[in-house]
Each structure stands twice: as C-alpha cells, then as structure tokens.
Amino acid sequence: MMDCKQALNEAKGDLEAAIVWLRKKGLSVAAKKATRVTSEGAVTSYIHAGGKIGVLVEVNCESDFVARTEDFKELVHDIAMHIAASDPKYVRKEDVTPEAFEREKDIFRSQAIASGKPPAIAEKMVTGKMEKFYEEVCLLEQPFIKDQTISISQLIAAKIGKLGENISVRRFARFKVGDVGETVAVTKPEHKAE
C-alpha cells in the first residue's frame, strides 16, 4: 500500500507512470493493486445478426452480491443489446471531447449551407441538430430500444432504486464485421490509492 502511494507521488499522480515505476522496482504485485478500482460488477457480451455485430460492456456496482442478482444481469444484458442496436459512440455527455463536438457542428453547418438555405435558417437547422446530438451519440441519453419512453440513464436509475446500490456503465466496445472503425467508449473513474 505504501509502495502504491510512493509510486503515485513519484509519478505526480499519473497512474500509468506510477505502474511503470512500481514494475521497475520489481513490485509487480503492488503494480497490479494500483490498477484496481474499488468496484464490482460484470462484463457481458451481446452478439447480433448472426455474428456480424458484437458488443462487450462492463457495468459496475458496489458489491459482488448485487452483481450476481438476476435484476443486475438483466440490466447488463439489456444495455449490451441496446448498444448493438443503437450504436452509441460515448457513455456520457462528459465523455464527448470538444473536438468531436465541433467536428459534428461543422459537418451539420456544411450540410445546411449545401442544401441552399439562407444563412439564418441554416444556423437554426444546426442549432436544432446539435440539441439532438447528445441524445444520438451518448449511451446514457439514448431512448432505450425496448421502451422508448425512458432513457438508458432512467433505466439504470430504476435499478439503482430497486437494488439500493450505485450502478454505472464503465466502458463498452462494439465491432461490426467489415467496418473500418470500431467503437471503444471508456469513462475514466477516480483513482483510489489504498
């Protein structure tokens, strides 16, 4: 434990550098501990369209007891299936980088201008599209495919109420056969050195 704290000090709080420092000292057990976040949960997959689309998702909770309940398993399965169908690019609004936001805005603006609308109308079209942007690309903001009246974050909130533990989507990956790109979305947790 002391080694982890010293390593984080040496690395000025940079976790990756701290792990390198610990490994250099031969303290690989401590290095392993430093990569653990205090969380439980489950990794689940969903394979769609005869093996052409696949999703891997990690959902965290506070205890392994909750992670093993049918309620939790159902939630994780629903989220994995939703990601396969709805193709989100990020977990939360906060995960969208300013660069990605500006790139999308720029694309919508060019589309609006190309459609031949006057500048004032074009600008309104862009504003309208950007209002819907988060709902289209962020998992937590998307309407749940099995019940479009609630968002994924509301689906999770309902389970939190039922199970009495905090629950959060940690990360997901989505591959489609033949596509150049793949989606890998990760939320950065707070690091706890203990």
| Positions that interact with its own copies (CB under 8 A) | 15, 20, 23-26, 34-47, 50-56, 58, 60, 67-68, 73, 103, 106-107, 110-111, 114-115, 170-171, 173, 175-182, 184, 186, 189, 191
> Which is nearer to its own copies, 41 or 152 (by Cβ)?
41
Shortest gap between Cβ of 75 and its own copies (angstroms)?
Answer: 13
Length of the chain: 194
> Residue 45 in 3-state DSSP?
strand
Shortest gap between Cβ of 74 and its own copies (angstroms)?
Answer: 13
Shortest gap between Cβ of 194 and its own copies (angstroms)?
Answer: 13
Shortest gap between Cβ of 161 and its own copies (angstroms)?
Answer: 23
Identify the CA nearest to 15 among candidates 34, 36, 37: 34
Triad 7, 10, 15: Cα angle to 5°: 55
Shortest gap between Cβ of 153 and its own copies (angstroms)?
Answer: 21
Half-sphere exposure of 37 toward its Cβ, with a 13 Å CA cutoff? 13
Q: Which residues pair with 136 in a beta bridge?
A: none
Task: Give how far Cα 62 sits from Cα of 25, 45, 70, Å.
Answer: 32, 21, 16
Q: Check: CB of residue 31 under 8 Å from CB of residue 11.
A: no
Q: Which residues pair with 47 in a beta bridge?
A: 54
> Which is nearer to its own copies, 32 or 162 (by Cβ)?
32
Q: Check: CB of residue 91 under 8 Å from CB of residue 140.
A: yes
Amino acid at 18: A
> Which is nearer to its own copies, 97 or 115 (by Cβ)?
115
Shortest gap between Cβ of 174 and its own copies (angstroms)?
Answer: 8
> Which is nearer to its own copies, 15 or 160 (by Cβ)?
15
Q: Which residues pair with 45 in a beta bridge?
A: 56
